[in-house]
Amino acid sequence: MNTSERLKNLIAQYVLKYNYWGYLFSRIRRRADPGLKSIMGVAPERDGSIVLLYRPEYLDNTSDESVLTVLEHEGMHLLNKHIPRLLRIMANEMTTIIAKSKAEIWNIAADCSVNVQANIRKPIPINGRNWPVCLPERYNLPEDKITEWYFLELLKTSKTIEIVGPGGPGKKGLGYEKGGLDNHAGWQLDGVPDLSSLSRKIDGHIQDVIKDSLKTFSKDRGTLPAHIADLIQDALAPPKAPYYQIIRKLIRGTRLSKFKRSFTTVNRKRTYVFMIDDKHLPMISPFPGRKRDYTFKIVVLIDTSGSMRNEDIAEGLSGVKNIIEKDRHVHTTVLEVDAGVEKEYRVKKIRDIQFNIKGRGGTTLGPGLFRARELECDVCLAFTDGYTETINDYARKDLPKKIIWVINKDGDVSRVNRTGWVVHL
Ligand SMILES: [Zn+2]
């Protein structure tokens, strides 16, 4: 029997034994990959689907029992949606090398969570060798944290190492030496133009596969172990667009429309300017003799009497990091507002935004908004809990042209919601 038939039969047997992993993996495409560094791995495809890759040479020399353990490990990655979650992180990075480094660290974090969830702790005999299992203990971290938590902790303690795989070697990035069960081959996609849209596609695909497998599984009256049932419930919940992506969309849209406006007023016949996207804005005016204003002014207004934390603001701005930090035409001013404007300063980097929360609640944001208007900002991002005077009552002409309200969970939108977009944390 060849390797592919054996794997197919194994999965079919799990179905007969009412083992959920059989139901899940009978719906996932499989492909032999002799170059794989480990026995198996789930990987994203460019069309938004998922494939189970396996190395025939290793699989042939591994017991059914070990294969099931590895399948369970891979299945846990799927239920946790680890691939689309990673792609979302990578989509926000401006350089490939940083994205790759973060992917390496994410993979360790993902293993730390799934091995604890599935209680996989002992080394697994594969191809005549015992493969160590990646657990939080190895990094002196506690168990039962979510993957994002491990990711941030590991980022703090990572060292500069050589990046392996495409794009490396020779390039240095942050990371750890890895020695786990699978190396998540193919999780690093080179040259995919839009990682966030791929991430959404894969997310939807995994959801369909889970839904489908669950239907048959329940019909067969299979019983799910509790830890899997919880993960499935989370995985099937309607997807939430991370709010920083909404902020990015709004800011890029505003910026783009500003340039479209300034070009189209020059000559209506030159419609080709509509083809110019955000990334390819010309640096030299295509209309000699006229000077264009390329500056784009962002005001970040922070309500320091509220309950917004520094991390929330950094997270909120992470999607527009490129625009704020890399674009020399963008000017970002921070206004810290309490009863009035307490502080005003320019920033080049998001991490330069530092403020002290007074946390008394109740504030007057009006003066901050009037100042933002005075600064002639193109867009004002206001971080607040919304406990302020009724902004909706102010004359629109006294307020900034565009306002994006970023309101935290316990916040109240009722006093601000008619003056701009509202994004919930
Ligand atoms: Zn893994």
Name the residue ranges covered by the structural domains of the chain.
3-233, 296-424
How do strand 29-32 and strand 159-162 relate by DSSP bridges?
unpaired
pTM, two decimals, is: 0.60
- What is the Å distance from ligand 1's center to 185 Cα? 10
Q: Look at residue 190 in the predicted model and tell me its pLDDT.
A: 63
Q: What is the pLDDT of residues 154-179, one digit of tens each?
A: 888 876 555 444 444 444 444 555 54
Q: Which amino acid is at 165?
A: G
Nearest alpha-carbon partner for 297 in 339, 335, 337, 240: 335
- What is the Å distance from ligand 1's center to 184 Cα? 6
Say if residue 274's pLDDT is above 80: no
- Name the least confident of 58-67, 173-182, 227-236, 381-390: 173-182
Please give the backbone phi and psi of residue 343, each rounded to the nearest 5 degrees, phi first.
Answer: -150, 145
DSSP for residue 163 = P
Phi-psi region of 311 (alpha: psi -120 to 50; beta: other; left: phi over 0): alpha
- What is the Å distance from ligand 1's center to 191 Cα? 23
**pLDDT bracket for residue 104 (50, 70, 90):** confident
Contact 50, 202 (CB under 8 A): yes
Which residue(s) pair with 404 in the sheet?
381, 421
Nearest alpha-carbon partner for 316 in 387, 411, 194, 238: 411
**Crossing angle for the helix pair 96-117 and 64-79, nearest 10 degrees?**
120
Token pair of 353 as six digits: 């935004």
Distance CA 3, CA 213 (A): 24
Q: What is the pLDDT of residues 291-331, one digit of tens each?
A: 456 789 999 999 988 777 777 788 788 878 888 888 888 99
- What is the Å distance from ligand 1's center to 41 Cα? 7
- What is the Å distance from ligand 1's center to 114 Cα? 7
- What is the Å distance from ligand 1's center to 74 Cα? 6
Distance CA 82, CA 372 (A): 40
Which residue(s) pair with 301 in the sheet?
335, 382
- What is the Å distance from ligand 1's center to 359 Cα? 42
- What is the Å distance from ligand 1's center to 113 Cα? 9
Has domain 296-424 been given CATH number 3.40.50.410? Answer: yes
HSE value, Cβ hemisphere, 13 Å, CA-based, for 222: 24
Contact 100, 164 (CB under 8 A): no
Say if residue 411's pLDDT is above 50: yes
HSE value, Cβ hemisphere, 13 Å, CA-based, for 26: 19
Q: Which residues of 32-50 are buried (b: 16+ CB within 10 A; e: fewer)?
A: ebeebebbbbbbbbeebeb
Token pair of 216 as six digits: 């048959």
